[in-house]
Chains A and B, each alone.
Chain A
Amino acid sequence: MLSSFSVDGGMLLAGIGQTLYMTLASALLAYLIGLPLGVLLAVTAPEGIRPLRMLNTVLGFVVNVLRSVPFLILLILVIPLTRAIMGTSLGPSATVVPLTVAAAPFVARLVEASLAEVDQGVVEAAWSMGASPFKIIMKVLLPEARSSLLLGATIAAITILGYSAMSGIVGGGGLGDIAIRYGYYRYETSVMFVSVALLVVIVMVLQALGNRWARSIDKKASAPSGMAFGLFGSGMPLGGRKAEKIGQSAVPAENKDEDAAT
């Protein structure tokens, strides 16, 4: 069966291009909305630097509602919006709209979680030096969370990639579209397999790149950053980070000093 269908390389290449375009454009737009929203969620939380109960509750509610709508439903629900913005509801560019709507609240939660991880003691130190809430956000929370934010962005990009494949159902373009049209509707299984394999490769590369980049900018890990692990070696990013934290605490934090003589 497989050999009786030739796989159209040009089409797949275009599919890869479209998938990457949708993923990156949507991720960018989702961060444009989700990053400020996530900062607001973290900052106004009860344990945040500027607790605002009402605002936090309302924002959290909106985010939760948006996140609980299944993407396939959202895809259809926002068609009028997509038409209003893009003039059409078909093709990769149009798909960016529902992808952004779906990803922004997810990104907001990822950002919120990253910022909540920042050491409260460091925030307190910044207060003690007279920093304003705005300066604490810009100079403490975001820079201190940068590695975690980057890992979050990797997760977001991969999630968006998965969603973008789903949009093939309504003619969204990209590899998912190819897999559905050829593999599902026309029983060209080989095309489906190849496009799915390509999706898998893209996910793995994205994850590995994200892990490496996040690791290389994180100065918290005392081991020199960089080549300590292979391209696919670190697996799940959260698992990797957890292990790192455990590793850190296993080292006695305040051991003997060399500078005692001074």
Chain B
Amino acid sequence: MIQVLLALIASLAGSIGGQTGALVTQLVNTIGTVTLDKAAFDATIGPWIAWANGIVDANREPTPEEHAAANALADAIHANNQSLGSGGPPVPLPAPPTS
């Protein structure tokens, strides 16, 4: 029954729209259930998403520092995945920007 409800949530998420945000929501509800570790996602990536949304909602370009921060996050995630996928240790992620 829980599986059915999770599928329902994923389906509802998919019906929101075709933009990247909805895609991320779908990822949360599909790949995320591999370890059912959404709490870790919320704690680790959630602040970054809120941060990016803040820039978008202000309808402005990111500052060079903000742009560098987003790149550092993507680089760290990629490095972490490549390391774990090769049997290596996890790579620490940068702390989310505070502003």
Q: Judge: A and B partners, yes or no.
A: no
